[in-house]
A and B are shown apart, each in its own frame.
Chain A
């Protein structure tokens, strides 16, 4: 079982609609949680980063939430655009004397006109 689980695996929405992507994690001790956007064939680009004490972070039309007690995070995309079509990856970092990063498998979002 992956230590960072994302859902749904893929999602199709119409342009202009909102959507919410989910991330559940089991890793500890938690250092930070990040959401990345990855276009096909390119490297991931950071959207938000949250530490243990933060429970929400916004970046334009992207809003991430974090519940460190339940170990859940979500990424909400408002007023979707065609260019939002990409994979969205949840990443959890732990620091146990050595740095370790664990990526989720991603949610593939398709925005249709």
Chain B
């Protein structure tokens, strides 16, 4: 176990709805990154948060947004859900934003959009 937890484990939504996914970082980690992983593909970087500020973003539209809280836990919000948003959403925490230290991944949230 990596110490990174995510909730919920599974979620089913319909098109147009909004969803919030949650991530609790490993103790002592101040950086969290979110990824989207479609079936059979590698994870795609959504964005990273460091000390409650966004610190890098991949090629995702603005309806993907995030928050990081003072305790370094994090949320991923997706508005106006589309069918293609169905994927495994992974969060990963790390102790420093720019070090080569390993990211520790959570188990993921499986989102299905109908």
Contact = CB atoms under 8 A, between A and B. Distances in A.
Interface of A: 4, 6, 31-32, 34, 36, 41-46, 49, 51, 89, 93, 95, 98-106
B112 interface: no
B45 A100 contact: yes
Candidate in A43, A99, A104, A106 with the most chain B CB atoms within 10 angstroms = A43
B36 to A, nearest CB: 10
Contacts of B108: 41-43
Nearest to A9: B40
Contacts of A104: 42
Contact of A100 (B58, B103, B106, B107): B58
A98 B56 contact: yes
A92 B36 CA distance: 16
A103 B97 contact: no
Interface in B66-90: 88, 90
A72 to B, nearest CB: 17
4 tightest A-B CB contacts, nearest first: A43-B105, A103-B42, A98-B56, A32-B100
* Contact-size category for B: 20 to 34
A46 B102 contact: yes
A51 B100 contact: yes
A24 B62 CA distance: 30
Contacts of B106: 43
B2 interface: yes
B98 A105 contact: no
Nearest to A32: B100
A101 B42 contact: no
A4 B107 CA distance: 23
B107 A42 contact: yes
Contacts of A46: 102-104
B43 A44 contact: yes
Given A45-B105, A103-B42, A103-B45, A98 B55 contact: yes
Nearest to A43: B105
Contacts of B42: 4, 6, 89, 103-106
